[in-house]
Chains A and B, each alone.
Chain A
Amino acid sequence: MDKKQKKVVVLPCSGIGKTFGSVARETAHELVESVRPGVTVLTCLPLLVINDPDARQLVTENPVITIDGCPKDCAKKSVESVGKKDFHTCRVVTFYSAHKDLKPEGVAPLNDAGLKLAKISAEELAATVDDLLKEEN
């Protein structure tokens, strides 16, 4: 039977005013563009806020990773708001706690440490992507 290959949907927090929000976004871009291109896809978090049917379908039919910048957990809660229950969540602070030497600063642009932290975070999320795809495909 021909089964459509699923992709992992990556949703970073949209934090416009905070450093960790920028790290979340940069991590998502690294993951989708460099670390696991082709098997991951990025979509806009605000599409879930307005309950866009295409975004809703994408999120409900594929494995999801959310990357939040702060304890408000906007990305996680937005995914939950469309009825998705089982998905992988993480916070930038977890990666930073493991790499205290990389203190992110700035928002736009991030400093070099922030960019490096995002790169490392994306690499660490690669295993999660692989696991999610193994379960789904």
Chain B
Amino acid sequence: MELNVLSNRKVGIVSCSGEGIPEGTVCRLACRKVLGELKAHKTVTICLPLFIAGGEEERTFAKTFPTVTVDGCEKLCAAKATEMLSGKPAKSLVVSEILKKRGIAVPGKLRNFGDEEETAVNAVAEETAKAVDEVLGKG
């Protein structure tokens, strides 16, 4: 019962970690922003590989929380892994599509982001926060 009440109020964010591509860094930083600032009390997260490495508790994540997946590229690791191993995401976002839609260049480096790259991070964070609101019924 308590779990149901909690799950009604929180959205699970599953971020691709994309260690090998700049979009992955955008993804990760944007999701951190949503989790820590924009929707701090309405979101929870899980490390994506825990769907494989973790136990039953981790694999029921998407059943416990409606999820928003955020992927860096068209491989859609976060969306696919969540659906395959936990449960169908409520919404799936892709960094490259968000940046294209907003006319923002994809950052050219993996780390040490500055102001230019921050624009991309903020755009993805805003879209993710919007998706959280939509899942919670405020969109």
Check B47–A108 contact: CB distance below 8 A: no
Q: Contact mask A20-59 → B, CB, 8 Å, 1/0?
A: 0100011011000100000000111111111010000000
Determine the chain B residues whose CB is within 8 A of the CB of A72 once the complex forms: 47, 50, 53-54
In angstroms, Cα B78 to Cα A28, docked, is 21
Q: Which residue of A has the minimal Cβ distance to B14?
A: A16
* Cβ of A14 under 8 Å from chain B: yes
Check A49–B47 contact: CB distance below 8 A: no
Check B47–A17 contact: CB distance below 8 A: yes
Check A16–B45 contact: CB distance below 8 A: yes
Determine the chain A residues whose CB is within 8 A of the CB of B80 once the complex forms: 50
Question: Given that A16-B32, A26-B111, A49-B77 are known contacts, is A73 also in contact with B53, CB under 8 Å in the complex?
Answer: yes
Question: Given that A42-B20, A43-B19 are known contacts, is A50 also in contact with B35, CB under 8 Å in the complex?
Answer: no
Determine the chain B residues whose CB is within 8 A of the CB of A26 once the complex forms: 111
Interface size on A, residues (CB 8 A): 34
Q: Which residue of B has the minimal Cβ distance to A15?
A: B47
Check B49–A74 contact: CB distance below 8 A: yes
Partner of B47, one of A13, A29, A33, A44: A13
Check A50–B77 contact: CB distance below 8 A: yes
* Cβ of B29 under 8 Å from chain A: yes
**B115 CB, min distance to chain A CBs, angstroms:** 14
Check A78–B20 contact: CB distance below 8 A: no
Interface size on B, residues (CB 8 A): 33
Most buried by A among B15, B17, B75, B111: B17
Partner of A14, one of B47, B54, B111: B47
**B76 CB, min distance to chain A CBs, angstroms:** 8
Determine the chain A residues whose CB is within 8 A of the CB of B24 once the complex forms: 44
Q: Which residue of A has the minimal Cβ distance to B30?
A: A108
Known pairs A16-B15, A16-B32, A16-B45. 16 more at Cβ < 8 A? A11-B19, A16-B17, A17-B35, A33-B110, A42-B20, A44-B19, A44-B21, A45-B19, A46-B48, A46-B77, A49-B48, A49-B49, A72-B47, A78-B53, A107-B32, A108-B28
B-to-A contact residues, CB < 8 Å = 15-21, 24, 28-29, 31-32, 35, 45, 47-54, 72, 75-78, 80-81, 84-85, 110-111
A-to-B contact residues, CB < 8 Å = 11-18, 21, 25-26, 28-29, 33, 42-50, 52, 72-78, 81, 107-108
Q: Could you list 10 examples of A-B contacts with CB < 8 Å?
A: A13-B47, A26-B111, A29-B110, A42-B19, A44-B72, A45-B49, A46-B16, A50-B77, A78-B49, A108-B28
